[in-house]
Amino acid sequence: MIDLDLFLGSRPLRSVLCIVAKTSGSCPGRVGFKMIVPPDGACTGSVGGGSMEFQVIRKARLMLLSCEEKPCVVSFDHTATAEPQTGSGMICSGKQKIVLIPSSPFKYELEGKQGFQVDINGLNLLDISPDDPGLHTDGDSWKYTEEITPPLTVYIFGGGHCGLALTLILNTLDLRVVIIDDREHVWTMEENQAAWKRIVLDYADVSSLVPDNGGALVVIMTASHAGDSVVLRQMLPLNLRYLGMMGSRATAKHILKEMQSLGFSEKELSSVHTPVGISISSQTPAEIAVSIAAEIIMVLNKR
């Protein structure tokens, strides 16, 4: 839900990092959801919302008020028959544990670190990724470990109105956006301050921009079907988590037939989400962006 370095970076005040560490059944929030609670004012992130989150915030601020230094684990039972000390006031039928970690205002060095571990003594960064991440308990002792991973990156080819609208929505989903266009001085590219990177480059030379590691997401929405075709032929050989291409059904059929003539297999072509996005009869750039974002969420949430 939030970047870990928002918490681990230099902060002017103490705060509490809250992490969903374990869930069973139906629960608000999943393992890894995070929220930063300052002494007052707005929180950053979420651990799921509802009355449970309100109780977490209250507990975190009590920890700050009492200058508590040691992390703790808070348990919630989301059932109508829950005991008073663990009942959340919700009846969604699940159970979960949340780790609360007070932080002093000093800077951690994240570079080169692969994970972090929290126990009753505090938070420590790890040089290697944890073998068995998650919450582990043994009597009164407990340990929570998590791998540190960068946000997923969406590469948008085409810096027009739809690219701008999509960037804004993807940012709310904690996805990092790299937007690429082959045209100089496109005002929608210049307006797109929400993108992590903005790149102006000939579409014939973009294959090296996207990592071939199974984690990248790509959306093709250039200003012409010729540009779409040039980009698609470079993306198809890559191992991608998502590949979508905007266009009408007729345009998509034409470009896919062209790719087939270049030797790409039916299996490779079937991986392309085109026309891109779920079908909601979208017309405006904002509506198109919503449909694409929804399709990306659907792909990412598949187990």
pLDDT tens sequence across 244-272: 999 999 999 999 999 999 999 999 999 99
Q: How far apart are CA 148 and CA 3, in angstroms?
A: 9
Q: Same domain, yes or no, for 137 and 181?
A: no
Angle between helices 161-172 and 285-300 (to 10 degrees): 40
pLDDT computed for residue 29 by the predictor: 81
Q: Same domain, yes or no, for 121 and 158?
A: no
pLDDT computed for residue 248 by the predictor: 92
Q: Same domain, yes or no, for 50 and 65?
A: yes
| Tokens standing for residue 36 | 């930063």
Instruction: Kindly state the DSSP code that residue 111 receives in the 8-state scheme.
Output: T
CA angle, corner 220, sides to 215 and 221, nearest 5?
150
Could you say which of 101, 131, 147 is where a domain stops? Answer: 147
What residues have CB less than 8 Å from 152, skipping those under 6 apart?
175, 176, 215, 217, 241, 300
Q: Same domain, yes or no, for 67 and 126?
A: yes
pLDDT computed for residue 198 by the predictor: 97
Could you say which of 112, 147, 182 is where a domain stops? Answer: 147
Q: Same domain, yes or no, for 172 and 291?
A: yes
Q: Same domain, yes or no, for 296 and 160?
A: yes
CATH assignment at residue 159 = 3.40.50.720
Task: Output the tens digit of pLDDT for each of the chain's 303 residues.
Answer: 566 665 665 454 689 999 999 988 888 888 999 999 998 888 988 998 888 899 999 999 999 999 998 999 998 887 777 676 666 666 677 888 999 999 865 566 777 789 999 999 988 899 999 988 999 998 889 999 999 888 899 999 999 999 999 999 999 998 999 999 999 999 999 999 999 999 999 999 999 999 999 999 999 999 999 999 999 999 999 999 999 999 999 999 999 999 999 999 999 999 999 999 999 999 999 999 999 999 999 999 986
Q: Same domain, yes or no, for 163 and 289?
A: yes
Q: Same domain, yes or no, for 135 and 213?
A: no
What residue numbers bound the domain in which 94 lies?
A: 5-147
Domain count, the chain: 2
Q: Same domain, yes or no, for 77 and 93?
A: yes
Q: Same domain, yes or no, for 166 and 141?
A: no
Q: Same domain, yes or no, for 81 and 205?
A: no
Cα dihedral sign, 244-247-248-249: negative
CA-based nearest residue to 293, from 156, 150, 195:
156
Q: How far apart are CA 20 and CA 271, in angstroms?
A: 33
* Cis? peptide before 275, omega within 30° of 0: yes
Q: Same domain, yes or no, for 164 and 263?
A: yes
Could you say which of 147, 172, 195 is where a domain stops? Answer: 147
pLDDT computed for residue 7 by the predictor: 60
Quick check: helix, strand or coil at residue 254?
A: helix
Q: How far apart are CA 96 and CA 135, in angstroms?
A: 11
